[in-house]
Structure 1
Amino acid sequence: MADVDLDFSELLPVAAEIEREAHEVAQEAYPVTKKMAAKLQRDWRRNARSSAGAHGKHYPRSITSEQRFSTDGPDWEVGPDRAMPQGGMGRGFEWGSVHQPPHNDMGQAMATLEPLFEAAAKKIADGFMS
């Protein structure tokens, strides 16, 4: 019976190059993601200030952003902080309740942010593809 030699050692330099490029993409994406998270927080707060009224006067300040640990790349969480006054009321403000219609403050902020984020991601991708 003949021996079969399966040798993938030629793939190791390719894998190293992919890993290096992934690290560079993450480095490029970090400031963009941070900036977009700050913009989302700002716009969402602005929308909430105009829609929350007197009954939700603390809600806009409860909308925060913070970086989350991730090994996959830059990751931020933006939204109402339940530990802050009226932060636990985010679902009611955003999606409505039996007492009020949905405010959709996050949805409006995301609608303006999404094309900016996509353009920034495309710019980063194009830079590494060329």
Structure 2
Amino acid sequence: MTLYVDASDLDSLRRDLVGAAAQARAEAPEVVREEAAQVRKEWRANARRTAGKHGKHYPNSITMESREGAAWEIGPDSAYPQGGMGRGFEYGSVNQAPHLDGTKAAMNSEARLEQSVADWAEKLL
């Protein structure tokens, strides 16, 4: 008895997966950048509502910066007016309760980012 194994479809699958991996490396940073921009926007909006007169410059200090790969850092930048006050606004101090503006924005982004990545992965594959 002779057995024949046809693996011709495997080579096509390999090419498809290699192509998808290259496309994923190219597109992933943009998918994450879009959500990072949304988190920054929401954090700023939260801060505008909670910072009061004493923190009128704080919302504009919230920036985003690209990191290696598909990563972004979002938060107050001490180079901006009141950016160094971020820890006090976010986590509170002896003079004020925590605002948790960034925490709320990050928590709201979790489901959106998950859905964005799922939609992108489905389109990719």
User: TM tier, shorter chain?
Assistant: 0.7 to 0.9
**C-alpha distance in 2, partners of 1:23/1:56?**
45
Name the residue aligned to 2:91.
95
TM-score of the superposed pair, with normalisation by structure 2: 0.78
Cα RMSD between the aligned structures? 2.0
Deviation at 1:59, TM superposition (A): 0.5
Q: Which residue number in structure 1 is paired with residue 101 of structure 2?
A: 105
Aligned counterpart, 1:125: 121
1:49-69 residue CA offsets vs partner (Å, 9 max, x unmatched)? 00000111110000011212x
Q: Structure 1: which amino acid aligns with 2:55? A: G
Partner Cα distance (2:24, 2:47) in 1:
34
- Per the TM alignment, residue 23 of structure 1 is displaced from its structure 2 partner at its CA by 3.1
Question: SS where residue 67 of structure 1 aligns?
Answer: strand
Gapped runs of 5+ residues in structure 1? 1-13
Q: Distance in 2 between matches of 1:65 and 1:18?
A: 32
Query: 1:83-114 deviations in whole A, cap 9, x for unaligned?
Result: 11110111110011111000010111112211
Q: CA deviation at 1:18?
A: 6.7
> For 1:12-49, what per-residue CA distance to the aligned partner results, in whole angstroms no more than 9, with x for missing partners?
xx7x9876543321222222111111111110000000
What CA distance in whole angstroms lies between the structure 1 residues aligned with 2:18 and 2:53? Answer: 51
User: Counterparts of 1:88 and 1:19 in 2: how far apart (Å)?
Assistant: 45
Q: Where does structure 2 lack aligned partners over 5 or more consecutive residues?
A: 1-13
Distance of 1:90 and 1:37 partners within structure 2: 18
Between the aligned residues of both structures, percent identity stands at: 46
* Structure 1 SS opposite 2:75: strand
Secondary structure at the aligned position of 2:65 is classed as strand
TM-score, length of structure 1 as denominator length: 0.76
Question: How many residue pairs align between the two structures?
Answer: 112
